[in-house]
Chains A and B, each alone.
Chain A
Amino acid sequence: MTPVHFSFSSAFTLGLMGLAFHRTHLLSALLCLEGMMLSLYIALSLWCLQLEATMFSAAPMLLLAFSACEASAGLALLVATARTHGTDHLQNLNLLQC
């Protein structure tokens, strides 16, 4: 295991742990998802750079486009939540009432 493998895999694991354990704000969860997407982008880029598989280097671009889709849908949900509930604390979404 090289240091760069350790760094991006631990970055992915940290983002996953932050997403799983901390749920105060919806925006914090979305930021953890973005961190995971960042580490995945770095991982795919390093794969095609290290193996010199240059045809594979279109894959990080597509991953970035799909993660932009995911981020925009998440932020739209954040805006909708802020409209209906007044705040983005996930504790409010836990209740069955509005």
Chain B
Amino acid sequence: MFYVEILSMLLLVLGLVAVASNPAPYYAALGLVLAAAAGCCVLVGHGGSFLSLVLFMIYLGGMLVVFAYSAALAAEPYPESWFDLSVFSYVVVYILGLMVVGLCFFEGWYDGFWVVDELKEFSLLRGDFGGVALMYSLGGWVLVVCGWVLLLTLFVVLELTRGLARGALRAV
């Protein structure tokens, strides 16, 4: 389990390297998918199965589909993958920088894994299940604010993409 955790953390960082090294947006979306899946594995290993499920379904299933769809707007005849020279040099520079920073922190490095105790005093709920459910009772006003922000974002998107003649952004 320990090695799976280390592997998923490594894949998380490598996925962000794949996003940050400026390839074509197709490949960057692929790297972000890799990072999100590895982040799910990290959260599962630390005992947050519900948070990991939300990350997998909402983030990976909802938002990244939209990103992959809008990668069609950035279409190129010859998209740069990570093995082109300009992208690969950034990959090498980022990985070397990560290794240097990791060696700087290597002295105070301790491998601790805290895991939420599953069967503490015959508890009925996992910690994150109950905590997220508290959003609907104690965090009621934050939920109202959140819904209001989402509604406002709907109108912002409608206003931005209304058309060329009217709306917030128009062709001069």
Give B155-169 as 1s and 0s: 1 = Cβ < 8 Å from A's Cβ atoms.
Answer: 011001100100011
Q: Report yes or no: A11 in contact with B35, Cβ–Cβ below 8 A.
A: yes
Interface of A (DSSP majority class): helix
Bound state CA distance, A71 and B59, in angstroms?
A: 11
List residues of B whose CB falls within 8 A of some A CB.
Answer: 5-6, 9-10, 12-13, 15-17, 19-22, 24-25, 28-29, 32, 35-36, 39, 42-43, 46-48, 51, 54-55, 58-59, 62-64, 66-67, 70-71, 73-74, 90, 94, 98, 101-102, 105, 108-117, 127-128, 130-132, 134-135, 138-139, 142, 146, 149-150, 153, 156-157, 160-161, 164, 168-172
Interface residues of A in 27-78 (CB under 8 A from B): 27-28, 30-32, 34-35, 38-39, 41-42, 45-46, 48-58, 60-62, 64-69, 71-73, 75-78
A14 and B22 in contact, given A30-B67, A75-B66 (Cβ under 8 angstroms): no
Q: Report yes or no: B116 in contact with A52, Cβ–Cβ below 8 A.
A: yes
Question: Given the complex, which residues of A lie within 8 Å of B35, measured CB to CB?
Answer: 11, 35, 38
Q: Enumerate 12 A-B pairs (CB-CB under 8 Å) in ascending A order.
A: A3-B6, A14-B98, A39-B16, A41-B59, A42-B43, A48-B127, A54-B134, A61-B132, A64-B55, A68-B150, A75-B67, A83-B171
Bound state CA distance, A20 and B117, in angstroms?
A: 40
Q: Report yes or no: A45 in contact with B13, Cβ–Cβ below 8 A.
A: no
* Nearest-Cβ distance from residue A10 to partner chain B, whole angstroms: 6
